[in-house]
């Protein structure tokens, strides 16, 4: 069996089904990768009655999911939304996601929103509870264990005029912005084991087994020096994104290769995507990264203004941090400065955007930042004049975040790429149906092949529209759907 682990852009060759030994092990469903997507797929497939094998390349379960902060983007009237007095509906959630996503997949968004409350309940039934509490501030993630906050652009213009805003960022009850999801992954492991899934660690899928008609019928694997292959009625690829693969990043999302802090784990090398390609998978949104350098907390800095190196504003500063970053990266030289006066500077609790300097006068600041003469003076005069009236005719920043920046000295925070510490991960992946079936470029589905999580493309598709929690949310939601559909295929095959 040809069981190598190709690096870079290499697409692993498929193993012809005819080469599979007659006595090869046989499972109903093989799931590749034990992160949130693979764990949920395996659990639902097993609960549907399938005999499931879960292959994990690492020595433990969890992948990038275990490293993550723990935001799940859920709504439509979850128990936390209700307990904290936030009205939300399936329709409002769907309309918001439709409006804020660049190339929305309506079928998937509608399914995700319609199933969101039930999915919230399913997640809690793993054995934890989201705290019934709300964090009202502007932060990357709740500082404590508060269960809910705004993690998108719901209150940002133009979205707030189109759909009534509701907070949907549900955080697992663990403080901090990393490793919160580990509790979910540990519970998922327990439930997966209880359900009878066979999990093999340190066993990476290396190739897909494909029959003459193009149907996927198994997986080849490697465990240290041992190699082998198993037959399956359905294979679910849930092997993570590609932020750790320098060649794929250079080819698809070069911005992620620039002095960036990569948000990923070792095996985010795109092998899942390349396995899909080997069977003919179409890829979607591969050029869309999530990139961000949050400058808040403290919330007070949101009242400042952001200018580019022409001294012009270009974004509503109250945008979700990744949306702000998306527009920063589109400015000349990817350069931008956040300016706050003495009344609005506070201790930085997210020091990714460094304080460049302090200036006694606006003229001195303009010269110090080498901005065109008169540019910053004019921009600040206009901003301050309107902010004093609670207005922002240029970018419609919410009145809650408008305040004149008139009380010098002024602090300048440098958002420029290469100076501020940008972090990111990839959003693109295999094109799939709402049930995780992998599509070919012509839209037809590849028999026997499913995908979910960061190696698939679902509702989180573009950096400007991203809401924190959509990766874990869609990975778990569409992972479950893929597992159920894969088990149904296996059942149908035995009839
Ligand atoms: C610090 C940090 C914070 C984050 N916070 C959030 C957040 O709060 N909310 C949110 O929605 N998203 C967040 N994200 C993003 C999110 O964690 C990921 O997008 C998500 O966990 C991906 O889940 P997954 O199941 O697709 O992949 P993973 O969790 O990475 O799982 C994939 C698994 O597949 C395994 N694997 C890879 N190749 C093979 C192979 N060939 N054979 C077998 N196994 C293989 C890997 O080892 C891994 O265990 C964060 C990311 C980071 C790094």
Q: What is the pLDDT of residues 81-122, one digit of tens each?
A: 999 999 999 999 999 999 999 999 999 999 999 999 999 999
278 pocket-lining for ligand 1 (C-beta < 6 Å): no
476 pocket-lining for ligand 1 (C-beta < 6 Å): no
Q: What is the pLDDT of residue 175?
A: 87
Q: Which of 68, 186, 479 to mutate to test the pocket of ligand 1 (most atoms within 8 A of CB)?
A: 68
For the chain, the three-class secondary structure string (H helix, E strand, C coil) is CCCCCCCCCCCCCCEEHHHCCCCCEEEEEEEECCCHHHHHHHHHHHHCCCCEEEECCCCCCCHHHHHCCCEEECCCCCHHHHHCCCCCCHHHHHHHHHHHCCCCCHHHHHHHHHCHHHHHHHHHCCCCCCCCCECCCCCCCCCCCCCEECCCCCCCCCHHHHCCCCCCEEECCCCCCCCCCHHHHHHHHHHHHHCCCEEECCCEEEEEEECCCCCEEEEEEEECCEEEEEEEEEEEECCCCCCCCHHHHHHHCHHHHCCCEECCCCCCCCHHHHHHHHCCCCEECCCCEEEECCCCCCHHHHHCEEEECCCCECCCCCCCHHHHHHHHCCCHHHCEEEEEECCCCCCCCCCCCCEEEEECCHHHHHHHCCCCCCHHHHHHHHHHHHHCCCCCCCCCCCHHHCCCCCCCCEEEEECCECCECCEEEECCEEEECCCCEEECCCCCEEEEEEECHHHEECCCCCCCCCCCCHHHHHHHHHHHHHHHHHHHHHHHHHC
The reply to whether 250 and 200 lie within a common domain is yes
The reply to whether 333 and 197 lie within a common domain is no
Q: What is the pLDDT of residue 173?
A: 95
The reply to whether 63 and 205 lie within a common domain is yes
The reply to whether 319 and 235 lie within a common domain is no
The reply to whether 200 and 59 lie within a common domain is yes
Which of 420, 454, 470 is the last residue before a domain boundary?
A: 420
Which of 394, 420, 446 is the last residue before a domain boundary?
A: 420
Q: What is the pLDDT of residue 475?
A: 98
- The structural domain count of the chain equals 3
The reply to whether 283 and 299 lie within a common domain is no
The reply to whether 302 and 281 lie within a common domain is no
The reply to whether 429 and 400 lie within a common domain is no
Q: What is the pLDDT of residues 417-461, one digit of tens each?
A: 989 999 999 999 999 999 999 999 999 999 999 999 999 999 988
The CATH code of the domain that includes 433 is: 3.50.50.60
Which of 109, 141, 171 is the last residue before a domain boundary?
A: 171
468 pocket-lining for ligand 1 (C-beta < 6 Å): yes
Strands 216-223 and 204-210: antiparallel
The reply to whether 60 and 100 lie within a common domain is no
Closest C-alpha to ligand 1, atom 33: 33
Low-confidence ranges of the chain (pLDDT < 50): 1-3
Closest C-alpha to ligand 1, atom 14: 68
**Alpha-carbon distance 273 to 143, whole Å?**
35
CA of 147 to the centre of ligand 1 (A): 22
Residue 1 included in any domain: no
Residue 203 included in any domain: yes
The reply to whether 132 and 188 lie within a common domain is no
The reply to whether 75 and 63 lie within a common domain is no
Q: Domain containing 378: what range? A: 294-420
Q: What is the pLDDT of residue 350?
A: 64
The reply to whether 252 and 265 lie within a common domain is yes
Residue 2 included in any domain: no
């Amino acid at each position: 069996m040809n069981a190598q682990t190709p690096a870079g852009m290499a697409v692993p060759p498929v193993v012809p089904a005819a080469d599979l030994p007659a006595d090869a092990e046989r499972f109903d469903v093989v799931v590749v990768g034990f992160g949130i997507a693979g764990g949920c797929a395996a659990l639902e497939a097993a609960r549907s009655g399938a005999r499931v094998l879960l292959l994990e390349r690492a020595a433990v379960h969890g992948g990038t999911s275990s490293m993550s902060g723990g935001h799940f983007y859920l709504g439509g009237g979850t128990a936390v939304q209700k307990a904290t007095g936030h009205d939300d509906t399936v329709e409002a959630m769907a309309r918001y996601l439709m409006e804020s996503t660049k190339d929305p997949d309506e079928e998937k968004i509608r399914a995700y929103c319609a199933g969101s409350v039930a999915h919230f309940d399913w997640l809690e039934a793993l054995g934890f509870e989201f705290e019934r509490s709300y964090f009202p501030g502007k932060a990357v993630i709740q500082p404590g264990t508060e269960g809910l906050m705004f993690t998108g652009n719901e209150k940002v213009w133009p979205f707030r005029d189109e759909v009534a805003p509701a907070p949907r960022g549900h955080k697992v009850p663990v403080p901090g912005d990393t490793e919160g999801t580990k509790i979910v992954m540990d519970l998922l492991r327990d439930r997966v084991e209880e359900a009878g899934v066979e999990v093999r660690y340190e066993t990476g899928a290396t190739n897909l087994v494909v029959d003459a008609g193009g149907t996927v019928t198994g997986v080849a694997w490697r465990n240290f020096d041992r190699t082998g292959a198993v037959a399956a009625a359905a294979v679910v690829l849930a092997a993570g994104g590609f932020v750790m693969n320098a060649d794929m990043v250079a080819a698809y999302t070069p911005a992620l290769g620039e002095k960036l802090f990569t948000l990923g784990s070792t095996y985010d090398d795109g092998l899942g995507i390349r396995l899909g390609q080997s069977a003919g998978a179409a890829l979607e949104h591969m050029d869309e990264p999530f990139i961000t350098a949050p400058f808040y907390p403290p919330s007070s800095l949101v009242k400042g203004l952001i200018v580019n190196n022409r001294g012009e504003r270009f974004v509503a500063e109250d945008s979700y941090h990744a949306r702000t970053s998306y527009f920063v990266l589109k400015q000349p030289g990817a350069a931008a400065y956040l300016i706050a006066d003495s009344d609005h500077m506070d201790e930085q609790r997210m020091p990714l955007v460094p304080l460049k300097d302090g200036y006694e006068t606006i003229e001195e600041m303009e010269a110090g930042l080498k901005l065109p003469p008169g540019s910053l003076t004019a921009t600040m005069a206009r901003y301050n004049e309107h902010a004093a009236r609670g207005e922002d005719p240029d970018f419609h920043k919410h009145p809650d975040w408008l305040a004149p920046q008139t009380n010098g000295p002024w602090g300048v925070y440098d958002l420029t790429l290469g100076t501020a510490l940008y972090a990111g991960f990839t959003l693109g992946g295999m094109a799939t149906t709402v049930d995780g079936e992998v599509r070919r470029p012509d839209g037809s589905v590849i028999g026997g092949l499913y995908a979910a999580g960061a190696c698939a493309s679902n509702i989180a598709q573009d950096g400007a529209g991203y809401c924190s929690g959509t990766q874990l949310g869609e990975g778990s939601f569409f992972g479950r759907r893929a597992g159920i559909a894969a088990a149904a295929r296996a059942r149908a095959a035995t009839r």
